[in-house]
Structure 1
Amino acid sequence: MNSLIWLPKNPTFQPGWDLEEIHATFFKCISWQMEETMDAINCPYHYVCDKTYPPNYHLSIDILVLLFTTISYFLTLFIVIMNIISRKGTIFFSLSKRFFLPSGPISLPLIILIFGKGNQINTIFPLSCIGPAILLLVLISALSFDNEADYKDIQYTFFAASTVSGILHASLYLDSIVLPYYTGFDALMSSTLSGECATCVCRKEALVVGGKLVKYKGWSMTTFFVVSVLCLRIICKIFGENVGKFVSMIKVLMERFSWILISLDCVYLIAKSPPEKVMLRVVAFGGIFLLILLHVLKEACSQICAMAYVVEKLRLVSMSTPIA
């Protein structure tokens, strides 16, 4: 993509400025300093990038993160498909659900570690672009695979609580990656270079953390609902049948609404994200959409099987009832 597209409107270039470097600095900036301005009409807000995060890690780190993410996704996809075509899971599937899924006790800590260092993983697999898709994968995994039958009360409570904690940490770390990225995107697209320095910009309105062009956040309503569903699952597991139909109904409604919010986040990120790494973004969110469609298919198959079971029982009852 032409670097000029990414520069602020009506730029004032100076000799020796590197367009690619300016572009990279805007997206890596973690602190924008507002300075005094003498032109209150044309430049009411003057900002300069005060601090950027450290240089990117070696390319090998990006490759390892890419491989880990790809394996996690295809493992999730494989188990989802097997759960659709087979009613009885094997021991392998059970162990996979517990340990190797994105929301499991092995993969989730690794994802948190990746997000914690995500500002420096930005060479061929930028987490500023793909991080939201990874978080959505974790949320889908947590919603889809409920291992309640595999645990006793205390074990399940510990497992679900650790998943909740992991999701919250992952969401906060993701925000530390995407908020500077979206702030830089806003500074690029809604500002004018003042010419004072390579990153000095004039704006008509104040620059806010995260910018105003992209509204996505890791810790959002979607994360809140998924975490709430997991907490309700803990309550239902502990109290069993004593929990009441109302709480069970609320849990089901929140699960369905969580899926709707995940779908909306996916659509929004495809439509509103900065036009960078477009093909990688399409592949990532296309994979998330596939998991969502498979979940819808699974729910539809379950409803059809339930209806068929009821119809068959009614038919058997009618056949066994003697005619007066």
Structure 2
Amino acid sequence: MLLWLPAYPTFQPGWDQEEVHATFFKCISWQVEETLDAVNCPYHYFCDKTYPSNYPLLVDILVLLFTAASYLVTLVIVIMDLCSGRGRIFLSGSKRFLLPSGPVSLPLIILIFAKGPQINTIFPLSCLGPAILLMALISALSFDNGDDKDFKYTFFVASTVSGILHASLYLDSVVLPYYTGFDALMSSTFSGECESCVCRKEALVVGGKLVRYRGWSLTTFFVVGVLCLRIICKISGETYAGKFLFIKALMERFSWILITVDCVYLTLNSPPERVVLRGSAYGGIFLLIFLQVLKEACNQFTQRLM
């Protein structure tokens, strides 16, 4: 019995289930063939090209350790920031280099996403890449070192914007083939002509139709918009900054809502692979969101008492 597949009568006993699994989820080029059976097989696809084989296990371990360290640093800084009672003033210039959205970690995240299709042994980025991006977005939203001088602040935030956009694009290059293969596997039947040959009732689209999450999404653009408004408020001075503060605050709140929606969606609708690892990752993201909500509630309560 196959773990995910229905009882396809055309699935050959000699085929290796793990090999078929890898072919579908790492395929980057699906070719459509003409078919004579317009009723039962109007669209016939086979995988023409896949990503190269995975990196050694050591690479996955290093990525796992880096991700865990980045999360723990973010969690500790958020908790200390919450306990300090001083809001964002607690974040000093040195601590921001340790955050996932900082000038050290964010380039590493971009590099990891760029090589993501081959990091798929014990820490599959096709499953956990979205959680890493959400962690970087939360880091960028939560901390704003407004004490820097205008040029230094502008350069730092602009580099964060560029890094987030690049990370989102590279993440899509990892997850879109994964979601396409998931759709091809779950919404098709094997034709029996080859290991990846499937019959479909409708055309196969990039990213599939079963999971609609994208790294290059409304969530990313809202976070980028918030960062851009921070730059505008910083360089415009006190005279004009007030005109943008309301819009910035509104966009920040909506960005947090979108991040929460993405996290809930990915928890409920991701392909059923590495369930425990994926649940732990998104559980950690929910914890960061909860702490941010708690911090905002404490700030509002403190302001009303003053």
With the length of structure 1 as denominator, give the TM-score of the two structures. Answer: 0.91
Q: In the alignment, is the contact (CA less than 8 A) between 2:267 and 2:282 conserved in 1?
A: yes
Query: Cα RMSD between the aligned structures?
Result: 1.6
Q: Summarize deviations over 1:118-160 as a string: whole Å, max 9, x none.
A: 00000000000000000000000000010111x1101111100
| 1:289 corresponding residue in structure 2 | 286
Unaligned runs of 5+ in 2: none
| 2:255 corresponding residue in structure 1 | 258
User: Within the alignment, does 1:45 sit opposite 2:43 as a pair?
Assistant: yes
Counterpart of 2:29 (choices 13, 28, 31) is 31
Relative distance call for 1:93 and 1:306 in structure 2 (3 A) is closer
Letter in 1 for 2:62: L
Distance 1:91 1:233 in 2: 15
User: Within the alignment, does 1:220 sit opposite 2:217 as a pair?
Assistant: yes
Classify the secondary structure of the residue corresponding to 1:17. Answer: coil
Distance 2:131 2:253 in 1: 19
User: Within the alignment, does 1:78 sit opposite 2:42 as a pair?
Assistant: no
Classify the secondary structure of the residue corresponding to 1:94. Answer: coil
Q: In the alignment, is the contact (CA less than 8 A) between 2:89 and 2:145 conserved in 1?
A: no
Identical pairs, percent = 75
Classify the secondary structure of the residue corresponding to 1:37. Answer: coil
| 2:273 corresponding residue in structure 1 | 276
Counterpart of 1:177 (choices 174, 178, 182) is 174
| 2:163 corresponding residue in structure 1 | 166
Matches within 5 A, 1:131-170: 131-149=129-147, 151-170=148-167
User: Within the alignment, does 1:14 sit opposite 2:12 as a pair?
Assistant: yes
Q: Summarize deviations over 1:221-266 as a string: whole Å, max 9, x none.
A: 0001000000000000000212243311000000000000000000
The offset of 1:9, in angstroms, is: 5.8
Distance 2:153 2:244 in 1: 18
User: Within the alignment, does 1:189 sit opposite 2:186 as a pair?
Assistant: yes
With the length of structure 2 as denominator, give the TM-score of the two structures. Answer: 0.97
The offset of 1:19, in angstroms, is: 1.4
Distance 2:89 2:200 in 1: 59
Q: In the alignment, is the contact (CA less than 8 A) between 1:8 and 1:188 conserved in 2?
A: no
| 1:301 corresponding residue in structure 2 | 298
Matches within 5 A, 1:108-119: 108-119=106-117
Classify the secondary structure of the residue corresponding to 1:33. Answer: strand
Unaligned runs of 5+ in 1: 310-324
| 2:63 corresponding residue in structure 1 | 65
The offset of 1:7, in angstroms, is: 2.8
Number of residue equivalences: 306
Relative distance call for 1:65 and 1:45 in structure 2 (3 A) is same
| 1:321 corresponding residue in structure 2 | none
Distance 1:147 1:225 in 2: 19
The offset of 1:87, in angstroms, is: 3.5
Letter in 2 for 1:35: E
Relative distance call for 1:183 and 1:9 in structure 2 (3 A) is farther
Q: In the alignment, is the contact (CA less than 8 A) between 1:225 and 1:254 conserved in 2?
A: yes
Classify the secondary structure of the residue corresponding to 2:45. Answer: strand
Q: In the alignment, is the contact (CA less than 8 A) between 1:235 and 1:243 conserved in 2?
A: no
Please tell me whether Structure 1 or Structure 2 has the larger radius of gyration of its CA atoms: 1
| 1:122 corresponding residue in structure 2 | 120
| 1:107 corresponding residue in structure 2 | 105
Distance 2:300 2:45 in 1: 57
| 2:231 corresponding residue in structure 1 | 234
Classify the secondary structure of the residue corresponding to 2:92. Answer: helix
Counterpart of 1:200 (choices 193, 197, 202) is 197
